[in-house]
Amino acid sequence: AQSVSQHNHHVILSEAASLELGCNYSYGGTVNLFWYVQYPGQHLQLLLKYFSGDPLVKGIKGFEAEFIKSKFSFNLRKPSVQWSDTAEYFCAVTPGTGGGADGLTFGKGTHLIIQP
Amino acid sequence: DAGVIQSPRHEVTEMGQEVTLRCKPISGHNSLFWYRQTMMRGLELLIYFNNNVPIDDSGMPEDRFSAKMPNASFSTLKIQPSEPRDSAVYFCASSLGTGGYGYTFGSGTRLTVV
């Protein structure tokens, strides 16, 4: 079975700082990787996903993530954060053969607070 | 597209009562997932369906939990009898099931069992 580890449970940054949230997964086969964001009191929204091809994936709101297969990592980055990025961020994985027919396994999440 | 629709948004019930959560997936999506979110355990996959057929219910915590998907546009998650430790936010998600289109989540049902 697959698992996901997010190293930082809480991150506090000032506006305009650069962001990198770590995500490592454990699974022996091909994987599909996702980052979701959950704003306070809201549902999960997809930021970006990786299925194949270019390991550098660009998502919405200026976020990007890089899949490094040798490190089993899929870290989320943003060059300059805004106050509105305050939210909970979840990394998730599913077996690559499923294509959306298998359930997601989530990390525990990283609570990001951006100070004005 | 209205997205994944869950009802109710909030539910407060007394211990021992039956609770039914409802989900309408996005039209055309053939996979449906139920997740539970708590502070202690994060997001857990409870059960999922492909083409209305339950595929994996290994995440369902106990026999008190059951889920059905009688047709492509409706699913229920039932807890009978409910207990305080069932208090959580329950999310439903749907996906196209093929081609890597990703998953769309509903707004969730916040369940409080007192």
Where in A7-63 does DSSP place strands (E)?
Answer: 10-14, 19-21, 24-26, 31-38, 44-50, 56-58
Q: B75 near B68, Cβ under 8 Å?
A: yes
Minimal-distance CA residue of chain B relative to A47:
B102
List CB contacts of A114: < 8 A, sequence separation 6 or more. Answer: A12, A13, A14, A15, A81, A82, A83, A84, A85, A86
Is the pLDDT score of A97 beyond 70? no
Minimal-distance CA residue of chain A relative to B31:
A101
Is the pLDDT score of A8 beyond 90? no
Most confident of A25-39, A91-105, B6-20: B6-20
Which segment of A14-18, A29-33, A71-75, A99-103 scores lowest on mean pLDDT?
A99-103
- Per DSSP, A82 falls in state -
Kindly determine whether residue A34 and residue B95, on different chains, have CB atoms separated by under 8 Å.
no
- The band of B99, judged by pLDDT with boundaries at 50, 70 and 90, is very low
Is the Cα dihedral B92, A90, A62, A57 positive or negative? negative
Considering only CB atoms, which chain A residues are within 8 Å of B52? none
Counting residues of chain B whose pLDDT is more than 70, the rounded percentage is 95
Q: Residues in chain B whose beta carbon is closer than 8 A to a beta carbon of chain A?
A: 31, 33, 35, 42-45, 48, 50, 55-56, 59, 91, 93, 95-108
Kindly determine whether residue A103 and residue B107, on different chains, have CB atoms separated by under 8 Å.
no
